[in-house]
Amino acid sequence: MLNMTELKPARILAIETSCDETACAILENGRALLSSTVASQMDIHARYGGVFPEVASRQHVLSIIPVVEQTLDQSNLSLKDIDAIAVTRGPGLAGSLVVGMNMAKGLALGTNLPIIGVNHLEGHIYSSWIYNAGETAPAEPQFPLMALLVSGGHTELNLMTDHLTYERLGSTLDDAAGEAFDKVARLLGLSYPGGPSIQRAAETGDPTRFKFPRARLDNPYDFSFSGLKTAVLYEVNALKKKQMALPVEDLAASFQAAVVEVLFNKTIQAAREHNAKEILVAGGVSANRALRQAFQSQDEFKVHIPAFSLCTDNAAMIAAAGYYRYALGQVSDLGMDVQPTWPLS
Ligand code: KG4
Ligand code: ZN
């Protein structure tokens, strides 16, 4: 087991550009957040109904320097006060990743600081370690920990027996949870990104009106959301055929209830079976209020879910994961390349 008291103190500046957010943050000792900037491209991509990779890459080029400068300004620090540079190496869009990677390499080269390539999924997991500098540090997640990762590109359950140690118990066989939210939102005529739109519509909807399927799979810890998405499509087509107005709120609420039930039940079952002490939920979908409520309404396990601002993509989480890698001496070299597909384990 990693002895945390022996880890050296360090201030990490991190850069994240894996998808459509240009982000930079400075974090102390893996937990205390000094400064964080996230420049979202959401409005630009909304008109395409999803992330347009070339546009994302160009936008990162425009935003990256101002975002790093703003992060340093806000912290009242200069590069001389930084101990290492962390950067998202993957998974993500190649054209987006390279912009952050080149900026990070430039900074590392210019300052002679070590550079750490960080897995974006590991970053999401480490968002639960972060708190705002100046506030009282909350208790750290305790191992063995059952980690549910639910983002736009990934859905998986990992058992963590120590820092940076993952045993994948299951993952999605088709769509990721966030992807299902985005696709169903489009079916219902709701705007991108789908997660927040579905959540909003579901607030006034009846989650019991439509009985959407919950997939049964050989491995109980795998996920599948494509059948659910198809069931919503059939329902929408049937209603349209009858020339009925779409009950968008009820459809959204019933879909959301199905996703939340599956994510919650599988995580609790996995935590029990593997004698986990605590549960951690991470990734963009962990911002979902119904999912948070489901976990908060039980008291069998202590559950860690990041603050809303840390659920979706940000650089603070990359600094947190980068810190633990750095503290263990796992630095990268300047010859590293981006890894658009890079599994967590
Ligand atoms: O982690 P993230 O920001 O980017 C990836 O690494 O993929 O996750 C983005 C995903 C999108 O699919 C988005 O629809 C979903 O997270 N999301 C939500 C909510 N906020 C964001 N899904 C459900 N409810 C939300 N409130
Ligand atoms: Zn993400």
| Mean pLDDT in residue range 22-47 | 96
As a whole number, the mean pLDDT across the chain is 96
| Mean pLDDT in residue range 107-135 | 98
Dmax (CA) for the chain in angstroms is 67
Decide whether any atom of ligand 1 lies within 6 Å of the 84 Cβ: no
Decide whether any atom of ligand 1 lies within 6 Å of the 313 Cβ: yes
pLDDT score at 161: 98
Q: Is 36 exposed, middle or buried (0-12, 13-18, 19+ CB in 10 A)?
A: buried
Decide whether any atom of ligand 1 lies within 6 Å of the 117 Cβ: no
Q: Check if the beta carbon of residue 16 is closer than 8 Å to that of residue 100.
A: yes
Quick one: pLDDT band at residue 4, thresholds 50, 70, 90?
Answer: low
Strand ordering across the sheet containing 155-162: 165-171, 155-162, 145-150, 278-282, 302-304
**pLDDT, tens digit, 9 for 90 and up, residues 307-321:** 999 999 999 999 999
Mutate which of 89, 151, 318 for ligand 1? The one with the most ligand atoms within 8 Å of its CB, which is 151
pLDDT score at 72: 98
Whole-number Å distance between alpha carbons of 192 and 182 = 7
Helices vs. strands in the chain: H and E counts, helices first = 11, 11
Please state, for a pLDDT cut of 90, what percent of the chain lies above it. 95
Quick one: pLDDT band at residue 49, thresholds 50, 70, 90?
Answer: confident
Among protein residues, the one with the nearest Cα to ligand 1's atom 1 is: 284
Among protein residues, the one with the nearest Cα to ligand 1's atom 19 is: 195
Decide whether any atom of ligand 1 lies within 6 Å of the 91 Cβ: no
195 CA distance to ligand 1 middle (Å): 6
242 CA distance to ligand 2 middle (Å): 39
| Mean pLDDT in residue range 57-81 | 98
- Residue 344, phi then psi, degrees to nearest 5: -70, -35
| Mean pLDDT in residue range 153-181 | 98
pLDDT score at 1: 67
311 CA distance to ligand 1 middle (Å): 8
**pLDDT, tens digit, 9 for 90 and up, residues 176-226:** 999 999 999 999 999 999 999 999 999 999 999 999 999 999 999 999 999
Whole-number Å distance between alpha carbons of 324 and 157 = 21
pLDDT score at 3: 67
Asked whether the whole model's pTM tops 0.95, one would answer yes
Whole-number Å distance between alpha carbons of 335 and 345 = 22
What contacts 225, CB < 8 A, 6 or more positions away? Answer: 155, 172, 174, 175, 176, 177, 179, 180, 215, 259
Return the amino acid letter for 59: Q
**pLDDT, tens digit, 9 for 90 and up, residues 241-270:** 999 899 999 999 999 999 999 999 999 999
Q: DSSP labels for 42-76?
A: HHHHHTTTS--HHHHHHHHHHHHHHHHHHHHHHHT
| Mean pLDDT in residue range 101-125 | 98
Query: Which of the ligands is closest to the CA of residue 184?
Result: 1
273 CA distance to ligand 1 middle (Å): 28
271 CA distance to ligand 2 middle (Å): 23
